[in-house]
Structure 1
Amino acid sequence: MLLAEPALLPSVSAHQRVNGATRIEFSATGGKTRLADLYQRAPCRVLFPDIDPGEPVQAVLLTTSGGLTGGDRLRVDFAAHAGARATLTSQAAEKIYRALPGDEPARIDVCITAGVGAHVEYLAQETILFDGARLRRQLDANLAPGACLLATESLVLGRRAMGESLRSGFIHDAWRIRRGGRLIFADALHLDGLHFDGSLAALRAAPFGFGATTAYATLIYAADDAPALLTPVRTRLDEAEVSTIVHATTREHLLILRLLADDAAELRQALIRAAGIVRSLAAGLSERLPQVWYC
């Protein structure tokens, strides 16, 4: 089925801004997953690398703009029909640069749809925020009964190795997951330095904030068997001696992992390990993530 072209949204900035979009649709026929439809609008591009035997079909998303700034927009629609098995990942870390005064936040919207019995992975690499960056990001997942979703998102609050720190800016990072049309998970991180003495650094360092942490990640596995994986995942993480702070919990149809680190590289390695463990226990897949994570 050919999907309709996403509408171009008017820019609120006086400067040229990107308005990229991609839609990727997979279907299953005879036990094999195949690409059913693809739409891409610059700066969004999708690559389809060769995969190892037994791995789901893989799509790699990249943006040719080299990063985003205030007023830029990206929308990703990722659909897997009944019985399909597919992985969507990103080619590299996404960079969010300083926004100009008066610009709206850069906006990233991801919509994931999984049909009955579909197995979907959304393995996004980290998003790096430069000082003065403004970002509004939302992930919406709509799962049919019997579908499985493994999803990751992470933020780096300034590149410590480069002597950078996120001292000002805006972040709104939200998740919504529905199963059979019912909302089962809603979560949002909201940081706005303008409403806390004008300093995002002060907000981050507050008792309810991040302290010395410069990077964090969320990993969610949504499936019927998700709660049963809590103890095995905790055991495997203990055996792996992951140094990064990792907390795991469950609720109905969900396994939720939060990762916090003082160093972005440490967070990345811990997330690779945690996602590998979950995909191995949940679907019998390799603990190795897509090759782009190791480039």
Structure 2
Amino acid sequence: MFAAPITEPMQRSRGEASVTLVCGPVGMRLTGLRQQGSAKCILPHGPRGRDGLPEVVFLNTSGGLTGGDMLSYAVQLGPRARAVATTQTAERAYRSSGGAARVRVTMEVGEGGWLEWLPQETILFDDSRLDRRTVLDLAPGAGCLLLESVVLGRAAMGETVTKIALRDWREIRQSGRPVMVEPLVLGDRALQTGAAGLMGARAFASLAMLGQGVADLLDPLRAVLDEPGVTAAASAPDGRLMLRMMAADGWPLRRQIARCLAVLRRGAPLPRVWQM
């Protein structure tokens, strides 16, 4: 006997989490926390965090993303508020049976505030489809540190990726004016080894830092770009610090990212959930 084909639509995950922090007379204060569906948000050290810097940890309890899933994270910081936001583990985009998974990350930083968005890597599995949009709005005098890293499959598990569809949009606005816009469309041709592709790399990352005096960190940053197996370059155009990295595997890339963050964060420890 043969089982009847499944005609009912598959269940899709929906998740939305947001957090609001303000700077009060006695330090940071949590004024808003909302979570729905598969998206959760926790502050392991409370709103005052470690050494006065709160850690906001987002997590997706669905275990990963596939076609039709929707995930939304949001952070809002009041004037002079400071925080670091990250993800509990690597996000995974699995094979899609139709359509793309959609992820939206929106962040707002009040005047004189500072936000570090340091998510752990996104792992793209074969035939995955992901549409992600990250937008950060900075008020006058606010600054940020923004990281994004992508790994194509798990090399240690012998996985190969031959077909993917990634649309990734990152945008930073200062006083309502775009100061960094990075659209990325990654398809099957990017997996080739030629100059038009990833040159055989299975992992890549981009890091941006905006704020007063960030150009002074360029030389110290370049001094630590020495991880074997990682190709990296940094520049500081127009008050921004930009870093690009590529590697044949996610682990050396992760080590290089950790050393770079130690320089840019002036020795501050990585978020507690990062496993190094």
TM-score under structure 2 length normalisation: 0.91
Partner SS, residue 251 of structure 1 = coil
Is 1:251 equivalent to 2:237 in the alignment? yes
Q: CA deviation digits over 1:51-104, x for unaligned, max 9?
A: 87425111111111010101111111111110111111111101110000xx22
Q: 2:219 corresponds to which residue?
A: 231
Cα distance in 1 for residues equivalent to 2:41 and 2:243: 28
The match for 1:10 is none
**Structure 1 partner of 2:247:** 261
Structure 2 unmatched runs, 5+ = 1-7
* 1:242 aligned onto 2:227: yes
Please say if residues 166 and 186 of structure 2, whose CA atoms lie closer than 8 Å, have aligned partners that are also in contact: yes
1:292 maps to 2:273: yes
Return the match for 1:34 from 18, 29, 38. 29
What's the CA shift string for 1:190-221, capped at 9, x where partnerless?
1233xx5xxx64xx323211112100111111
Distance in 2, Cα, partners of 1:56 & 1:245: 31
| Correspondence for 1:208 | 196
Task: Please tell me whether the aligned partners of residues 184 and 252 of structure 1 are also in contact (alpha carbons under 8 angstroms).
Answer: no
Between the two proteins, what is the percent identity of the paired residues? 34
Deviations 1:241-293 (A, max 9, x none): 3232221112223111111111111111111111121111xxxxx34201111
Q: Any conservation in 2 of the 1:60–1:88 contact (CA below 8 Å)?
A: yes
Deviations 1:7-38 (A, max 9, x none): xxxxxx93211121111110001151111101
Instruction: Extract structure 1 runs of 4+ deviating beyond 6 A.
Output: none
Aligned partner of 1:173 in structure 2 is 168
Check conservation: 1:128, 1:158, Cα contact below 8 A. Answer: yes
Which residue is 1:92 aligned to?
89
Residue in structure 1 matched with residue 263 of structure 2 by the alignment: 277
Q: Could you say which residue in structure 2 is the equivalent of 1:131?
A: 126
Counterpart Cα distance in 2 of 1:134 and 1:276: 33
Structure ranking higher in helix proportion: 1
Letter in 1 for 2:77: A
Partner of 1:220: 208
Q: 1:31 to 1:227 in 2, by over 3 A?
A: farther
Return 5+ residue gaps in structure 1 as ranges: 1-12, 281-285
Aligned position for 1:108: 103
Q: Describe how 1:181-192 pairs up with structure 2 within 5 A.
A: 181-192=176-187
Deviation at 1:188? 1.7
